[in-house]
Amino acid sequence: MDKLRRVLSGQEDEEQGLTAQVLDSTTLSFSTRVKWFALCFGGGILCSILGTAFLWIPNGVKLFAVFYTLGNIAALSSTCFLMGPVKQIKRMFDPTRLICTVVMLLCLILTLCAVFWWHKRGLALVFCILQFLAIAWYSLSYIPFAR
């Protein structure tokens, strides 16, 4: 909106560099960031709950593992809206939480491998439990002195 006001009032800065133009056009307002965070996080929780519901239908372990993993990925990526994707990745691979990040990502990948390539439903359930524990450990790594 500020850019529109500058253009309409004739105060447009012609000397703005390409990097500044790209950053100006890709930034989100705080309220937009919070809305997308809530939407993505809510979608992740919904996928996880839906996956848990699939666990109770016959032969639903495959759907459970897929929806539970997608829900965790969506909930994890929702924080990218709050702090930005680059800062999120830098914090994920910070030396203090490197091990829990690697374990968490490995559990996400191994869950999908157990379902689609190895066709081991019991192993997929074990990896889903490990996924839950790894994400809890990852979340606790953001609390000081909780590591």
pLDDT, one tens digit per residue, over 115-133 is: 999 989 899 999 999 999 9
* pLDDT at residue 63, as a whole number: 92
- pLDDT, residue 24, reads 59
Residue 127 CA to residue 111 CA, distance in Å, equals 5
For the chain, which residues score pLDDT lower than 50? none
Residue 137's H or E segment, with its range, is: helix 121-140
In this predicted structure, what is the pLDDT of residue 65? 93
pLDDT of residue 83: 85
Per-position DSSP letters for 88-132, written without gaps between them: HHHHHTSTTTHHHHHHHHHHHHHHHHHHHTS--HHHHHHHHHHHH
Q: What is the pLDDT of residue 47?
A: 95
pTM: 0.75
pLDDT at 69: 94
pLDDT of residue 28: 79
> Which residue type is seen at 10?
G
pLDDT of residue 68: 94
